[in-house]
A and B are shown apart, each in its own frame.
Chain A
Amino acid sequence: MLLDRQLKDFAKKLARLSLEAGGQIDPARVDAVLASLQGHKPRARRAILKAYLRYLQIEDRRSRLLVEHAGNIGPGELEALRARLAKKYGRALRLETKENSALIAGLRASVADDIYESSVSHRLGSLQNTLG
């Protein structure tokens, strides 16, 4: 148990070392971390790599801005939104867009577990909750 805890802490530190100054995952640093793990015993290395992968996935989710939209949206608006949320979270965000016709019109932006939405379907849902 104590060993698992130490391995997780070690993997967490490795995941932090793999981030660049803006909070994005740096592939070069990841390569360097993987190279440094070559000297560990196979069994410990496997557990460290699994925990390291999980922490990297968490960091990747925290660095990703997913914008779902219905209809066209200009790159200027998307960039303004990304800059605003990056400033709010204090780290660089990687922008990803996805068409979602269920929104009818409008946007739904999500960073990790936080969701920001301004869409027709959301407003209709609020209206339904208010009336119901």
Chain B
Amino acid sequence: MHDLLPLLAATGSEAASSGSPLEIVKQIFGPFAVKPVFLIAQIVNFSVVAALIYYFAIRPVLATVDARNKEIASGLKYAEDMQKKLADTEKQQAEVLKQASLEGKQVIAEARDTAKALVEKAAQDATRTAEDIIKKGQAATALERQQMLNDLRREVATLVVATANRVLGRELTPEERARFNASAAADLSKN
């Protein structure tokens, strides 16, 4: 490197002395063996290689990157939508729970009222049944008492008639019987 510095300084001083830019370029790159034909060929080769690399390597990679970016964006958007839906779902769930809680309270209140009504009805039925039983018992007692009175009356009547039969059969005199017979004959004759 230190060897080239005197060469470059000499070349610079020569080009400045000739004056043409092209000559100056030739004087500068002459020591480096850079020829324009080779340089253009190198530029063309580089352009072709760069174009091939662009079309067959960079461009697919860029397309893949774009696709990945779109997928990532789509995923992010999907995640945001999911978060919104989750929030909505949680909100709806909260509303449903609230509604369910209200309905549950209402059902419990109705069940309590129904149970109260059933208890009252059962109590009324039990009272009515007890009253019916008491009435039937009273009726049965009255019927039994009436039956006993009838039996007693029948027995007393039988006893009275039997006694009257014996007394009258023994105590009536022939004259009384004859008088009764005349009266009976008159009754039968009238009828």
User: Do the two chains bind?
Assistant: yes
Binding site for B on A (CB under 8 A): 69-74, 77-78, 80-81, 84, 101, 104-107, 109, 116, 118-121, 124-125, 127-128, 130-132
Q: B191 to A116, Cβ gap below 8 A?
A: yes
Q: A127 to B169, Cβ gap below 8 A?
A: no
Q: A77 to B182, Cβ gap below 8 A?
A: yes
**Please, which residues of chain B bring their CB within 8 A of the CB of A71?**
172, 174, 177-178, 180-181
Q: A128 to B161, Cβ gap below 8 A?
A: yes
Q: Is B13 an interface residue (CB 8 A)?
A: no
Binding site for A on B (CB under 8 A): 150, 153-154, 156-158, 160-161, 164-165, 168-169, 172, 174, 176-178, 180-189, 191
Interface-central residue, A69, A80, A118, A127, by most chain B CB under 10 Å = A118
**Please, which residues of chain B bring their CB within 8 A of the CB of A128?**
157-158, 160-161
Q: A132 to B158, Cβ gap below 8 A?
A: yes
Q: B182 to A74, Cβ gap below 8 A?
A: yes
Q: Complex: how many Å from CA A101 to CA B169?
A: 8
Q: B168 to A120, Cβ gap below 8 A?
A: yes
Q: Complex: how many Å from CA A69 to CA B186?
A: 14
Q: A118 to B184, Cβ gap below 8 A?
A: yes
| Known A71-B180, A72-B178: A81·B188 in contact at CB below 8 Å | yes
**Please, which residues of chain A bring their CB within 8 A of the CB of B158?**
128, 132
Closest to A78 in B: B185
Closest to B167 in A: A104
Q: B153 to A105, Cβ gap below 8 A?
A: no
A-B contact pairs, 28 of them (CB 8 A): A69-B181, A70-B181, A71-B177, A71-B181, A72-B174, A72-B177, A72-B178, A72-B181, A73-B178, A73-B182, A73-B185, A77-B186, A81-B188, A84-B189, A104-B169, A105-B168, A105-B184, A107-B181, A107-B184, A118-B185, A120-B180, A124-B161, A125-B161, A127-B157, A128-B158, A128-B161, A131-B153, A132-B154
**Please, which residues of chain B bring their CB within 8 A of the CB of A107?**
181, 184-185, 188
**Please, which residues of chain A bring their CB within 8 A of the CB of B154?**
131-132
**Please, which residues of chain A bring their CB within 8 A of the CB of B183?**
118
Closest to A118 in B: B184
**Please, which residues of chain B bring their CB within 8 A of the CB of A78?**
185
**Please, which residues of chain A bring their CB within 8 A of the CB of B172?**
71, 104-105, 120
**Please, which residues of chain A bring their CB within 8 A of the CB of B191?**
116
Q: Complex: how many Å from CA A128 to CA B164?
A: 11
Closest to A72 in B: B178
**Please, which residues of chain B bring their CB within 8 A of the CB of A69?**
181
Q: B153 to A80, Cβ gap below 8 A?
A: no
Cβ distance A89 to chain B, nearest Cβ, rounded Å: 14
Q: B188 to A116, Cβ gap below 8 A?
A: yes
| Known A71-B180, A71-B181: A104·B187 in contact at CB below 8 Å | no
Q: Complex: how many Å from CA A120 to CA B191?
A: 18
